[in-house]
Structure 1
Amino acid sequence: MCLSKSIKATLIKEKAAIIIYLMNTTFIMMLYYLLYGGKLQLYPLALTVFFLLLYLVYKFIVYKKLYGILEEGKASPQYKIEDDYVYKDLVDYLAQVHKSYILQLYNMDLKLEEKDSLMSQLIHNMKTSVAVIELAAEEGLEKNDDNQEIFKDIIEEKYRLEDNLEGALNVFRVEKFSKDYIPEKVNLKELVTKAIKCKKRDFIYSKVSPRVDIDEGIYVYTDKKWGSYVIEQVISNSIKYSNKKDSKVSLNAIKDENRVILEIEDQGIGIKKQYINRVFDLFFTGSNGRDNRESTGIGLYMCKLVCKKLNNEISVQSEEGKGTKVSISYINAED
């Protein structure tokens, strides 16, 4: 706390003492006035003001020390005070409250970690069940000519369920990002190609084709797994909101001295102007999402979160009815 604020705080806290001192001084001055025949004496005034100032200086030092102790307490509950400090009982009580608060937070973190671990294990178990469903559906597709469409629908829903389960796992993984992050020099075209291959089925099913225009010599700093995850999420949205068959998703890179910008542009339905600033909000789907049952409002939120942790930047430009362009900015890693 600065000097002026400390002085002001001391005067406010000692307002009652100052008022009593002034009342006492007034009483003494009136007494001297009556005793000495109507003549004012400066001695009692100077004496009381002197002791008042001494008291305020003492309280200022005490409060300033207390504020310093409390400021240190923000970082650690290990308050350092002398045994004869006037507010030792108060500081000791605050230390106990602080320790109790930290203990409760620690216990809450343990419970949350246990729940996350349990949910993660359940999701892994469900992925195993999904794999079994796929095998059964493919076998049915081969042996049963009468129910071909039913088995195709089962396999299609299997892919959607698998994507959702993987997305749920990534929500848990991103909380422990520092344990699952390997920053390295990555070839951008290889990263984009890998993401496109992961979404190959979606491209074919939606009759949308990718168009890549990225120099093979462009390298960026990122994490291969998480970097690919972000690109996959953006590509998935581009395919999902394409407004016509045989449309294209264009991926190209623009580089300068320090940054490389990957642009992913679709020919889709676009985003309304009033929703642009909210597309990265958690669970926000907008009017487009309400019309698409696959929208969860999690994908772009996760992209923003991951990009922030990777020291990348992501932004969206869109015009309703014409398409959307997502730009991902990386640190240039070229030699």
Structure 2
Amino acid sequence: MNFIIGYFRQRRKGIFIFCLFCLVFLCAFLLYHLPAGAVLYPAFVCAVLGLIFLIWDMRRSWQRHRRLEELSRLPSVLQKDFPKPVSAEDRDYQQIISRLCEEQKQLETQMNLRYSDMIDYYTVWVHQIKTPIASMRLNLQSQDSEFARRILEDLMRIEQYVDMVLGYLRLDSDFTDYVIQEYELDDIVKPAVKKFAGQFIRKKLQLDYRPLHTKVVTDEKWLQFVLEQVISNALKYTEAGRITIEMENETDGAEDRAVLCIRDTGIGIAPEDIPRIFEKGYTGYNGRSDKKASGIGLYLCRRICSNLGHTITANSSLENGTVIRIRMGEPTRC
């Protein structure tokens, strides 16, 4: 219906001119007292012929419309076979579109090259910056003092930020090294927890973690990155109490899903902030209090979980701690 209305709206000038000409001839015949049939009959014949032409033209326009609709559903790189132009205006439009497509391809090629160069540069930078970090860690590990332990924590935080930079850059890269297979979940959780052992001891926080005995299909490196971000946030905003890591079983229809829960007894999250904590750059009330918050960590967690086929959610209330749930596929007990 929209096509028919649009078609007649596009042809309204021609229809109006035809009716106007018929009216002019009719008025002229009436002024000269000539039989009205002398103009009505030719007008009727012309109207029938015009209707036949309109039906033919409408059918041709409908075919062009369907072809353009099919092209609009294709990626831009495949939008080449435009309908044959029926006017100079159509030809001009197609030339403009073709030129714009070529310019877009050139811009995309340039952007991909720049993006690839940037990834290469930061990859080299990450590996180079980790060398002095590792050297400083070795030197500090030989010193048993509170100062050395604080510096080690700061070094670990720097290394975490470096990994965050690289993870952020690689999110949309075609070369992201996902290795999706079945892993023992404890083999991913334990290294992530061990990395923060010093902070647990310094802040005198209790860790409630028992072997999970669960296998999940995921990527070991990227899921560990997500866990490190979540545990780091839990430690940052928890001054007393405990952090609990446990499994929950959740039934989604007829399918069981493995849900990894990280609970803390920290300051919690304001209710108005919860829907937005996974947005890029959003820091919320806690982030505004902590000037060093970037609002990138949980955003990366959500993006990575999405790429892995997992979902990550948060439940919290002020002064009552936070629960982060990572929902994965069907669990396998081991």
Q: TM-score, normalised by structure 2?
A: 0.85
Q: CA deviation at 1:228?
A: 1.5
Q: Does the residue aligned with 2:328 lie in a helix, a strand or coil?
A: strand
8 Å contact from structure 1 (residues 211, 250) kept in 2: yes
Give the letter aligned to residue 236 of structure 2: K
The equivalent position to 2:134 in structure 1, one of 113, 131, 134, is 131
8 Å contact from structure 1 (residues 187, 220) kept in 2: yes
In 2, Cα distance between equivalents of 1:191 and 1:177: 25
In 2, Cα distance between equivalents of 1:307 and 1:227: 8
The equivalent position to 2:44 in structure 1, one of 43, 46, 49, is 46
In 1, Cα distance between equivalents of 2:210 and 2:150: 34
The equivalent position to 1:79 in structure 2, one of 58, 62, 81, is 81
Q: Does the residue aligned with 1:220 lie in a helix, a strand or coil?
A: strand
Q: CA deviation at 1:113?
A: 2.0
In 2, Cα distance between equivalents of 1:305 and 1:268: 25
Give the letter aligned to residue 120 of structure 1: T
| Aligned ranges 1:161-200 → 2 under 5 Å | 161-176=158-173, 179-200=176-197
Count how many residue pairs are aligned between Structure 1 and Structure 2.
Answer: 322
8 Å contact from structure 1 (residues 6, 60) kept in 2: no
| Aligned ranges 1:224-303 → 2 under 5 Å | 224-244=220-240, 247-255=241-249, 256=251, 257-303=255-301
Q: CA deviation at 1:121?
A: 2.1
Counterpart for residue 145 of structure 1: none
Correspondence 1:113 to 2:107: no
Counterpart for residue 16 of structure 2: 19
Q: Does the residue aligned with 2:273 lie in a helix, a strand or coil?
A: helix
Give the letter aligned to residue 190 of structure 2: T
Q: Deviations over 1:205-243 (max 9, x none)?
A: 322232124541x22221111112112211111111103
Q: CA deviation at 1:261?
A: 1.1
Q: Does the residue aligned with 1:265 lie in a helix, a strand or coil?
A: strand
In 1, Cα distance between equivalents of 2:36 and 2:25: 13
Give the letter aligned to residue 81 of structure 2: Y
Q: Does the residue aligned with 1:273 lie in a helix, a strand or coil?
A: coil
8 Å contact from structure 2 (residues 203, 239) kept in 1: no
Q: CA deviation at 1:176?
A: 2.5
Correspondence 1:10 to 2:13: no
**Kindly, what percent of the aligned residue pairs are identical?**
25
Counterpart for residue 28 of structure 2: 31
Instruction: In structure 1, list runs of 5 or more residues that go unmatched.
Output: 143-147
8 Å contact from structure 2 (residues 68, 82) kept in 1: no
- CA 1:26 to 1:202, structure 2 compared with 1: closer, same or farther past 3 Å? farther
Across the aligned residues of Structure 1 and Structure 2, the Cα RMSD in angstroms comes to 2.7
In 2, Cα distance between equivalents of 1:151 and 1:235: 22
- CA 1:326 to 1:154, structure 2 compared with 1: closer, same or farther past 3 Å? closer
8 Å contact from structure 2 (residues 119, 170) kept in 1: no
Give the letter aligned to residue 185 of structure 2: L
- CA 1:222 to 1:151, structure 2 compared with 1: closer, same or farther past 3 Å? closer
8 Å contact from structure 1 (residues 18, 52) kept in 2: no
8 Å contact from structure 2 (residues 242, 265) kept in 1: yes
Q: CA deviation at 1:300?
A: 0.6
Q: Deviations over 1:146-181 (max 9, x none)?
A: xx6665554443222211111111112222366411
Q: Does the residue aligned with 1:64 lie in a helix, a strand or coil?
A: helix
Instruction: In structure 2, list runs of 5 or more residues that go unmatched.
Output: none
In 1, Cα distance between equivalents of 2:158 and 2:297: 15
Q: Does the residue aligned with 1:126 lie in a helix, a strand or coil?
A: helix
Give the letter aligned to residue 21 of structure 1: F
Q: TM-score, normalised by structure 1?
A: 0.85
Q: Deviations over 1:98-141 (max 9, x none)?
A: 222222222222222212322332233222233344455567x5
8 Å contact from structure 1 (residues 219, 333) kept in 2: yes
Correspondence 1:222 to 2:225: no
Give the letter aligned to residue 9 of structure 1: G
Q: Deviations over 1:14-69 (max 9, x none)?
A: 22222212212221232343455464553133233224324433443443344344
In 1, Cα distance between equivalents of 2:148 and 2:244: 33
8 Å contact from structure 2 (residues 26, 36) kept in 1: no
- CA 1:157 to 1:195, structure 2 compared with 1: closer, same or farther past 3 Å? closer
8 Å contact from structure 2 (residues 153, 198) kept in 1: no
Which segment is superposed worse, 201-210 or 163-172?
Answer: 201-210
- CA 1:239 to 1:151, structure 2 compared with 1: closer, same or farther past 3 Å? closer
Give the letter aligned to residue 206 of structure 1: K
Counterpart for residue 107 of structure 2: 104
Correspondence 1:315 to 2:317: no
In 1, Cα distance between equivalents of 2:256 and 2:129: 44
